[in-house]
Structure 1
Amino acid sequence: MTSYLKTTPTADGFFGDYGGAMLPPPLEPHFKEIREAYATISKSVDFIAELRQIRKHYQGRPTPVSYLKNLSKLCGGAQIYAKREDLNHTGAHKLNHCMAEGLLAKFMGKTKLMAETGAGQHGVALATAAAYFGMECEIHMGEIDIAKEAPNVTRMKLLGAKVVPVGFGGRSLKEAVDSCFQSYIAQADHALFAIGSVVGPHPFPMMVRNFQHVVGVEARDQFLEMTGELPDMVAACVGGGSNAMGIFSGFIDDDVSLYGVEPLGTSSNLGDHAATISFGADGDIHGFRTLVLTDENGEPAPVHTVASGLDYPGVGPEHAHLHKTGRVNYTTADDKEALKAFYALSRHEGIIPALESAHAVAFAMREAGNNPGKSILINLSGRGDKDIDYVTETYGYGEDL
């Protein structure tokens, strides 16, 4: 049987009807250079060996799978497990592709890494990679997210990154991407725009998925070793969708049910959520075709979620494709469910999750009772150190939830 990952996407970057690369003419040669460089290094034993060395001796991989015994008992029904990407260096899955993108930039002779960030985890990870490889770093971040994720802003600056506040539009992740693309056009000769998720023009949706594939490979092997079988259900939060594609890719050819959990925010009304697959329509954003949340004028709509890293009106084109084909089931968790899960995992397992990851925890807590005798593996994509000030100042310690 031919592996899904070997045949998807197409040579021009399409996952079914979605993907591609719609670029302004000045950027076309630079993305061609990126595609050709990735095609070379991805098959290079030297690149693979160096990346494996970094993952083992710098990032601390493999991260473990933990059995959430207390949470499973609390919820009843299915047994809940977590892939612990919160234990990856810098506290989230983002470093998996950032170190690889740093290696790619080094191979291409670039001297600078630049990117957008929402929750700040990608920004921290890229600043870490830049420090490791001796490069400059420029991070664009919405003013709303800068206020919400102050600890990560401090970390980026300590790591030597220049943090560019973005104050136009919704002042969040979508605008950070817009701002970074504008800045990149003038610097593309010496900089790499290290896109922070499975979004953007080809080859980034494919490239970031492949760099995150390590999560799924490890999780599959670890779960088999722990239990002697594969999980019945695998779930992950979805904004752009890099952590989800990372773990899904390890099980995509298996008889395992896959679930992407989108942020429902405060309601299903447009502007109150960021559940693109659940409520979006086909459209173009940031140089690729996907599902997009749009307003009455056909422009990307304002979005809301308690989790800054999920605050995006589009979604990775591969997720749009997997939704259309039915291979992945997409559902939602709202702010209140995510906060309840944040507090529950903290109190019952001693693990403080990122608010993004808490959406996947919420799914497991909700579905466990409906699936007795089954197992649910979630991707705990990040830790919540970055969120504790915002959560406690805004919601206290969960007494009212």
Structure 2
Amino acid sequence: MVTGVLATRPGVMADPGERGRFGEYGGLYVPESLVAACREVEAAFREARTDPAFRESLAESLVLHVGRPTPLTPARRLSAELGVTLLLKREDLAHTGSHKINNVLGQALLALRMGRTRLIAETGAGQHGVAVATAAALLGLPATVFMGERDVERQGLNVFRMRMLGTEVVPVGTGSRTLKDATSEAMRHWVAATEEAYYCVGSVIGPNPYPWMVREFQRVIGDEAREQCAGTLPAAVPDYVVACVGGGSNAAGTFAGFVDTTARLVGVEAEGGAGAARGSLGVLHGFRSLFLQDGHGQITEAHSIAAGLDYPGVGPEHAHLRDLGRARYVTVSDEEVVDAAVRLARAEGIVPALESAHAVAWVIRAARTGELPPGSTVLLTLSGRGDKDISTLKELV
């Protein structure tokens, strides 16, 4: 059984309403030509999420095509080394190798429901692109994925996987040639094709309703983990819930399952791409949130060893959770990330995606410094597997 499929709960991380606002963040900052398209997506999602047939179809797809529920794995050797109890929510074991497929299947089914005939997407690390290509092949839809040239170079394996699945991959050579620029190009393409194309956003970013909708499709992670923790931990709820954050979809999905508990929520960002940890208020890609900006309010380039975190901002709901004090956002360095990936591999036989290794790196550091009290229980969402990063790791380890 898959729990948490489009569940509804009151309070924090609830429905942001028609304005799509999480406090002062979110909203709909798009050209007039896209307003109607976004409103149509919102209306379709609001209708679909209350339709038993849609919910059943999504739940069935998550079981048959994703392999849900994913397990909760005790990291026994690393726990003993750190003096804490570390539990890994294994999204790396989901089909395609990451959590991205949860959201993509939901949006692809929504696209069919809306009568759209092809998918458009952006990707950074390539995991979202692979998930889109997989869903497109499964449902018989053509797909076009925009990807920064720099990411095409460092994520060659995922580029090949997308093309093998029949998806067109379009390299983007503008700007920093990374996720930010791929997102901009995908949105420009959507402007000219709203009648027949569906834009499948990969994270909790973008104009309303995407931040909310993506979180709802990803909350299956947190709801499953909460049920699994209840059957595993004496206290039922972990002391800490930790996940990496770029745009922040795996973290949002995880946090949604625990936001109404006593668990401390920690989002871990790249030191060179931090939004919630040290960004300032701005607008990009159709939403208002916290971004890296210069003194003139211009978006500055982000940097991360992990292509999926190479984004200059954070999803609006994460900015809101930070303001409320409900979640804390921290950063780790590239060096800490590589060390954490190696340590997890050698202690537990799991090679994590470099994105996920950010969360592992913070747990290792916090245990060493005493920020994590000895004996703490920690749930960590391992958002993806490290196959795609082997060439990068090979150069550094």
Q: Normalization by structure 1: what TM-score?
A: 0.94
Give unpaired runs (5+ residues) of structure 1.
265-272
* 1:298 equivalenced with 2:297 (yes/no): yes
Alignment-derived partner of residue 71 in structure 2: 64
2:56 to 44, 49, 61: 49
- Counterparts of 1:119-198 in structure 2, within 5 Å, are 119-198=125-204
Please give the per-residue CA displacement for 1:173-216, whole angstroms capped at 9, x wherever unaligned: 10001111111111111111111100000000000000000000
- Pick closer, same or farther for the CA change 1:7–1:219 going to 2, 3 Å: closer
Alignment-derived partner of residue 34 in structure 1: 41
**How far, CA to CA, are the matches of 2:12 and 2:217 in structure 1?**
12
**How far, CA to CA, are the matches of 1:349 and 1:6 in structure 2?**
33
Alignment-derived partner of residue 309 in structure 1: 308
8 Å Cα contact 1:4-1:252 kept in structure 2? no
8 Å Cα contact 1:3-1:253 kept in structure 2? no
Q: Deviation of residue 11 (structure 1)?
A: 2.6
Q: Deviation of residue 252 (structure 1)?
A: 0.5
8 Å Cα contact 2:13-2:259 kept in structure 1? no
**How far, CA to CA, are the matches of 1:294 and 1:64 in structure 2?**
39
Please give the per-residue CA displacement for 1:297-347, whole angstroms capped at 9, x wherever unaligned: 321101111000001111100000000110001111110111001111111
What amino acid maps onto 2:392 in structure 1?
Y
8 Å Cα contact 2:275-2:314 kept in structure 1? yes
8 Å Cα contact 2:147-2:182 kept in structure 1? yes
* 1:218 equivalenced with 2:220 (yes/no): no
What amino acid maps onto 2:323 in structure 1?
K
**How far, CA to CA, are the matches of 2:326 and 2:230 in structure 1?**
22
Please give the per-residue CA displacement for 1:30-86, whole angstroms capped at 9, x wherever unaligned: 1111011001000000000000100111110000010000111222x2111110000
* 1:23 equivalenced with 2:30 (yes/no): yes
Q: Normalization by structure 2: what TM-score?
A: 0.95
Alignment-derived partner of residue 347 in structure 2: 348
8 Å Cα contact 2:353-2:386 kept in structure 1? yes
Please give the per-residue CA displacement for 1:239-283, whole angstroms capped at 9, x wherever unaligned: 00000001000000001100000111xxxxxxxx10112221111
What amino acid maps onto 2:215 in structure 1?
R
What amino acid maps onto 1:310 in structure 2?
L
Give unpaired runs (5+ residues) of structure 2.
1-8
What amino acid maps onto 2:88 in structure 1?
A
- Residue 227 of structure 1 aligns to a residue in which SS? coil
* 1:288 equivalenced with 2:287 (yes/no): yes
8 Å Cα contact 2:13-2:256 kept in structure 1? no
8 Å Cα contact 1:353-1:380 kept in structure 2? yes
- Residue 368 of structure 1 aligns to a residue in which SS? helix
Q: Deviation of residue 5 (structure 1)?
A: 5.4
**How far, CA to CA, are the matches of 2:86 and 2:155 in structure 1?**
29
**How far, CA to CA, are the matches of 1:313 and 1:297 in structure 2?**
15
8 Å Cα contact 1:65-1:219 kept in structure 2? yes
1:207 to 213, 224, 228: 213
8 Å Cα contact 1:304-1:311 kept in structure 2? yes
Q: Deviation of residue 6 (structure 1)?
A: 7.0
Which range moves more in the overlay, 115-124 or 296-305?
Answer: 296-305
8 Å Cα contact 1:79-1:368 kept in structure 2? no
**How far, CA to CA, are the matches of 1:11 and 1:4 in structure 2?**
16
Alignment-derived partner of residue 270 in structure 1: none
Superposition RMSD in Å: 1.1
**How far, CA to CA, are the matches of 1:155 and 1:378 in structure 2?**
27
Alignment-derived partner of residue 108 in structure 1: 114
- Residue 277 of structure 2 aligns to a residue in which SS? helix
- Residue 290 of structure 1 aligns to a residue in which SS? strand
- Counterparts of 1:90-101 in structure 2, within 5 Å, are 90-101=96-107
**How far, CA to CA, are the matches of 1:333 and 1:376 in structure 2?**
18
What amino acid maps onto 1:325 in structure 2?
L
**How far, CA to CA, are the matches of 1:89 and 1:6 in structure 2?**
27
- Residue 391 of structure 2 aligns to a residue in which SS? helix
Alignment-derived partner of residue 320 in structure 1: 319
**How far, CA to CA, are the matches of 2:226 and 2:367 in structure 1?**
20
* 1:384 equivalenced with 2:397 (yes/no): no
**How far, CA to CA, are the matches of 1:235 and 1:381 in structure 2?**
11
8 Å Cα contact 2:203-2:248 kept in structure 1? yes
